Amino acid sequence: MNATWAALIAAGAAVMASATTGWFTTFAARTQARATQETQLAQLQHARVEARHQQRRQAYADFVKAVGILNTKLADLASVAGSDTAFDATLREARSERASLGTRRLPRRTGSGR
């Protein structure tokens, strides 16, 4: 009888150990999955913010470039202001360059304008 009880106790302990290990493994897997999901969401949010910042940097670079071109053209026109023919030629050239650039406009904002 002692051997039977010892075998039953050993079998019960093995089943309990297996159940406990399985429960902790499941709990750890769920925790890891939740952490992975939070990390992925944070990476997506970071990518969205970086894309928006890149759009703003590009818009600013385009604006600075346009201001530089405008400044150069105005300087060209001012340098030939005394000569009617040179002024007209420079003005025609500036207008043709502007026409070749097209009329790319930014979309209008709606709302309060903030």
Reported pTM: 0.51
Backbone dihedral region of 105: left (phi > 0), alpha (psi from -120 to 50 degrees) or beta? beta
Measured in degrees and rounded to the nearest 5, phi and psi for residue 58 equal -65, -40
CA distance 113 to 110: 7
Q: Give the pLDDT band (50/70/90) at residue 86.
A: confident
CA distance 54 to 17: 55
Residue percentage of the chain with pLDDT more than 90 = 46
Mean pLDDT, rounded, of the chain:
85
H/E element, 62 = helix 2-79
Tens of pLDDT, residues 18-65 = 999 999 999 999 999 999 999 999 999 999 999 999 999 999 998 998
CA distance 39 to 48: 14
